[in-house]
Chain A
Amino acid sequence: MIRKAKGFYETFDRKEPGTRATHYCPGCGHGIIHKLIGEAMAELGIQDRTVFVSPVGCAAFCFHYFDCGNVAGPHGRASAVATGITRSLPGKVVISYQGDGDLGAIGFNNAFQAANRGEHFACFFVNNSIYAMTGGQMAPTTMLGQKTTTTPFGRDPVKEGYPLKVCEILNQLEAPVFIERVSVSDTKRIMQARKAVRKALEIQRDGRGYAFVEFLSPCPTNWRMDAVASAQFVNEKMEKVFPLGNFRDRSAEPAPVAKAIPRLTVEELLDRGHEGGPAQVDHEFRERRFKFSGFGGQGVLSLGLVVAEAAGASGRFVSWLPSYGPEQRGGYASCSVVVSGKEVGSPTVDSPDVLVLMSQPAAEKFAMTVPDGGVVIYESSLPEPKVRPGVRVMGFPASRIAAEAGTPKAANTALLGALTALELHGLSEGKVLLALDASFAAKPALVERNRKVYQAAFDWARNNL
């Protein structure tokens, strides 16, 4: 007489009210494996702490039986679902139960990567060398020559590859704590399987890390054998390909501890920035649309940022939009800045009021987009760009001024000085300088040097433009 396993529900009401029978076929290994897990859970007293992830396949209804928290996810993803659970519930016991198609085929990467991260859950892998629920198709663990509904002439390694030895593969990884292959084909082997299950769950109880147990399990229905022949098939055929044994047991070693990261409160982390309330509506303020463009590395994006920051600090509405992606690497770079007295509409600037050009490709791309009444200011070592009628064009020796002021790389800061001198951004110099200084907050040595470039450029522009 088979007693109800400890750790099971009294009756399997999720299946049908009052029922006590499992839904598995006679001779199937799942029932035995269930019983081993249920007993171990009960004996270890972990049912209140346990979340069990069911697979898709014959064992999709684990939640009919196991008296603990239950989650049923998509086919192949139990290891990923278990990862999400264990990361959310550290210290709890998490179990993923997966078949050979589920873990070995569609979800292999999820299982493999979870093992490689040493996720804190026990993974129970049932290998019956066939897809049972879907009708006896080939599994990754199907043996060579084995006939299935999708290998009617027997699995041919030339066409279908070789049986996947999951324990052997996982044993290449550093993180797993416990890896063992067992069988449930006869009493002697079941006793060994019981030990392995218990060990895997003890490792979870104690929070030691990832444990993996593979079960060789008979499937009389899809193998088209009786129970005796099935057990024989496991012992004589499967064990030759999938040898039983413990591959690893590091449960006695101390569990590794993650590096500690200093804690902050939300306020400490995020409450840094600009004081003051939201931007103020000012219908008198004429919206200005800027385009800053040049080669990547010339600092056109930061130039736009300084203008945008200064505009924000002045209570203006502002948007900053970079060109980005492959263009960043070597090619041209540009950003669009809109400064407004009301909520900014389109953050893209098709027709800039002010265009800053620091490279020839940028000049070719954007010079003709400036409308009548607009301003183009270009690095004067470049040829004068062709513009539309009514556009003011100014050459400005940004690189030379920056070099003469001692910081050749600060041509962008020189252009900022010129924009202020020419009153092209409509912002107070105080706010602009604060934003400029702030942009070098991480490199204080550069603050004074950029101020020097800025002043030289400002003076030059006042006197010459």
Chain B
Amino acid sequence: MRKFIKGNEAVAVGAVYAGCDTYFGYPITPASDIAHAVAEYFPQLGREHLQAECETGTINMIFGAASAGKLAMTASSGPGISLMQEGLSYLAGAQLPAVIVNVQRVGPGLGNIGPEQGDYNQAVKGGGHGNYHSIVLAPASVQEMCDLTIKAFEMAFKYRNPAIVLADAVLGQMMEFLQLPDKESVRPETSSWSVQGDAATRGNLVSSIYLDNDLQERHNWMLQEKYASMQADALSESYLAEDAEIVLTGYGTSSRVARSAVDELRSLGVKAGLFRPLTLFPFPAKALNEAAKAGKLLVVELSNGQYRDDVLLHLARDQRCDVELINRMGGNMMKVEDVVLRARKIMEVKA
């Protein structure tokens, strides 16, 4: 069964199939349609939707629901996500699974409601206080808005860690055909750590406090090992990259522009390819280095080089690869023809 729907609605559909029990949220453009859909869907399915009083309320309601072993989620955009950072740190510290969707808008500050990818570092590097990471997934289509929401729940519960779906205003507002998932996800088992108000979980404690320095350090080391182990779940996609002499790379909406540019470049006889991460944390470093064998990377992003910096970080030291950046900000999309022009210029200079 296919539905022609908005990316934001596809997130809600994904939440339904993932088995999400509770949704808490506070309205903000361009993410609000997710709450609209959930508010319609969830009560009819006997699930819980609550419009919270603010984003700090939201993320702490999620903390409560996750403590109870439930599948909890919220969706917001830049300013709202910023308000949730303390709660994200607590979720990570207490090792609680939850899904947070960020339909990125333009910042800093109030910015505007156009598409941008300026929350990359906030999502990928932590954002709140302390030595933690969220799992970060980067959908690039309406289909992936659904599929990666489901994946986010799966990874969040596998690793007992908050997972962020890092979308943007274009992905939230655009419509495409969504192939509905075949079946609902299997409910994860949580009774070993959650607090469900029953005899079996009466002895459990959900907390992120370790007053003893050594215990806290041990906890932090354990978390770092967990983050490292997530590499096994790094996801990416390459398109025409095998014989490419220049590889364009971006995530989300930027990768869509890059893909069009690759097609255009190929039609002009330029051997171009695309590398796009589906998980930003864990970062698919191995696959990136494979793609980087082309020798030239052109990073396409709707931010000030935040993703480019991570590409540089993850390139192997002995990787001989030039990395260039083409980007726009402010809610402006880069044009396919500008990306093509830039790629051709790079190729000419090197030729």
A contact residues vs B (CB 8 Å cutoff) = 14, 47-51, 53-54, 60, 63, 67-74, 77, 80-89, 92-94, 109-110, 113, 261-266, 269-279, 305, 308-309, 312, 318-322, 324-325, 343-348, 350-351
Whether A269 contacts B63 in the complex (CB less than 8 A), given A70-B195, A77-B56, A347-B174, comes out as: no
Closest residue on chain A to residue B338 by CB atoms:
A350
Chain A residues whose C-beta falls within 8 Å of the C-beta of B65 in the assembled complex: 84-85, 87-88
Residues of chain B from 47 to 106 with CB closer than 8 A to chain A in the complex: 48, 50, 52-54, 56-58, 60-68, 70, 72, 86-87, 90, 94
- A83 pairs with B173, CB closer than 8 A: no
CB of A44 to closest CB in B, whole Å = 14
- A84 pairs with B209, CB closer than 8 A: no
A265 to B52, CA, bound (A): 26
Closest residue on chain A to residue B199 by CB atoms:
A48
Whether A49 contacts B197 in the complex (CB less than 8 A), given A74-B90, A109-B57, comes out as: yes
A410 to B48, CA, bound (A): 41
Closest residue on chain B to residue A263 by CB atoms:
B46
B275 CB within 8 Å of chain A: no
- A270 pairs with B16, CB closer than 8 A: yes
- A53 pairs with B204, CB closer than 8 A: no
A73 to B93, CA, bound (A): 10
Which residue of B48, B113, B114, B173 contacts A88 across the interface (Cβ within 8 Å)?
B48
- A278 pairs with B207, CB closer than 8 A: no
A50 to B202, CA, bound (A): 8
- B interface majority secondary structure: mixed
Chain A residues whose C-beta falls within 8 Å of the C-beta of B17 in the assembled complex: 266
Whether A51 contacts B197 in the complex (CB less than 8 A), given A83-B50, A88-B48, A320-B175, comes out as: yes
Chain B residues whose C-beta falls within 8 Å of the C-beta of A308 in the assembled complex: 4, 175
Which residue of A14, A71, A279 contacts B195 across the interface (Cβ within 8 Å)?
A71
- B64 pairs with A53, CB closer than 8 A: yes
A/B interface sample: 12 pairs, CB < 8 A: A72-B209, A77-B56, A77-B63, A82-B64, A83-B64, A84-B72, A85-B68, A109-B53, A113-B53, A266-B16, A274-B3, A345-B258
- B202 pairs with A345, CB closer than 8 A: no
- B57 pairs with A80, CB closer than 8 A: yes
Interface bits B14-40 vs A (CB < 8 Å: 1, else 0): 001100011010000110000000000
B288 CB within 8 Å of chain A: no
A308 to B112, CA, bound (A): 28
The 4 closest A-B pairs by CB, nearest first: A84-B64, A345-B260, A92-B197, A80-B60
- A278 pairs with B170, CB closer than 8 A: no
CB of B47 to closest CB in A, whole Å = 10
Chain A residues whose C-beta falls within 8 Å of the C-beta of B72 in the assembled complex: 84, 88
A21 to B310, CA, bound (A): 51
A318 to B177, CA, bound (A): 7
- A110 pairs with B174, CB closer than 8 A: no
Which residue of A67, A71, A264, A272 contacts B67 across the interface (Cβ within 8 Å)?
A71
CB of A191 to closest CB in B, whole Å = 29
CB of A302 to closest CB in B, whole Å = 12
Whether A274 contacts B2 in the complex (CB less than 8 A), given A83-B61, A320-B176, A345-B257, comes out as: yes
A40 to B204, CA, bound (A): 21
B184 CB within 8 Å of chain A: yes
Closest residue on chain A to residue B259 by CB atoms:
A345
Chain B residues whose C-beta falls within 8 Å of the C-beta of A82 in the assembled complex: 64
CB of B22 to closest CB in A, whole Å = 6
Residues of chain B from 190 to 221 with CB closer than 8 A to chain A in the complex: 195-199, 201-202, 204-209
Most buried by A among B177, B180, B335: B177
- A81 pairs with B3, CB closer than 8 A: no
Chain A residues whose C-beta falls within 8 Å of the C-beta of B4 in the assembled complex: 273-274, 308-309, 312, 320
A428 to B175, CA, bound (A): 21
A49 to B335, CA, bound (A): 58
B contact residues vs A (CB 8 Å cutoff) = 1-4, 13, 16-17, 21-22, 24, 29-30, 41, 43-46, 48, 50, 52-54, 56-58, 60-68, 70, 72, 86-87, 90, 94, 112-114, 170, 173-177, 179-180, 184, 195-199, 201-202, 204-209, 253, 256-263, 333, 335-337
A421 to B261, CA, bound (A): 32
- A interface majority secondary structure: mixed
Chain A residues whose C-beta falls within 8 Å of the C-beta of B209 in the assembled complex: 60, 72
- B257 pairs with A348, CB closer than 8 A: yes
A47 to B201, CA, bound (A): 11
Chain B residues whose C-beta falls within 8 Å of the C-beta of A269 in the assembled complex: 16, 41, 44-45
Which residue of B24, B198, B204 contacts A49 across the interface (Cβ within 8 Å)?
B198
CB of B311 to closest CB in A, whole Å = 20
Chain A residues whose C-beta falls within 8 Å of the C-beta of B199 in the assembled complex: 48
A344 to B52, CA, bound (A): 37
Closest residue on chain B to residue A304 by CB atoms:
B175
Chain B residues whose C-beta falls within 8 Å of the C-beta of A265 in the assembled complex: 45
CB of A266 to closest CB in B, whole Å = 6
- B196 pairs with A69, CB closer than 8 A: yes
- B1 pairs with A80, CB closer than 8 A: no
Most buried by B among A84, A318, A324: A84
Which residue of B68, B184, B257 contacts A266 across the interface (Cβ within 8 Å)?
B184
- A110 pairs with B70, CB closer than 8 A: no
Chain B residues whose C-beta falls within 8 Å of the C-beta of A63 in the assembled complex: 205, 207
A324 to B180, CA, bound (A): 26
Most buried by A among B3, B53, B72, B258: B53
A110 to B113, CA, bound (A): 27
Closest residue on chain A to residue B335 by CB atoms:
A350
Whether A261 contacts B174 in the complex (CB less than 8 A), given A68-B202, A273-B2, comes out as: no
Chain A residues whose C-beta falls within 8 Å of the C-beta of B174 in the assembled complex: 319-322, 347
- A321 pairs with B62, CB closer than 8 A: no
- B180 pairs with A71, CB closer than 8 A: no
Closest residue on chain A to residue B112 by CB atoms:
A325
A92 to B69, CA, bound (A): 14
16 further A-B contacts with Cβ under 8 Å, apart from A63-B205, A270-B16, A312-B2, are A51-B67, A51-B68, A70-B195, A77-B57, A80-B64, A84-B66, A89-B68, A89-B196, A320-B175, A321-B174, A324-B113, A325-B29, A325-B113, A346-B256, A347-B253, A350-B337
A274 to B3, CA, bound (A): 6
A67 to B70, CA, bound (A): 22
- A274 pairs with B177, CB closer than 8 A: yes
A264 to B30, CA, bound (A): 28
A158 to B180, CA, bound (A): 61
- A270 pairs with B13, CB closer than 8 A: yes
Whether A276 contacts B2 in the complex (CB less than 8 A), given A83-B64, A84-B65, comes out as: yes
Chain B residues whose C-beta falls within 8 Å of the C-beta of A54 in the assembled complex: 207
Chain A residues whose C-beta falls within 8 Å of the C-beta of B64 in the assembled complex: 53, 71, 73, 80-88
CB of A433 to closest CB in B, whole Å = 17
- A84 pairs with B63, CB closer than 8 A: yes
- A345 pairs with B60, CB closer than 8 A: no
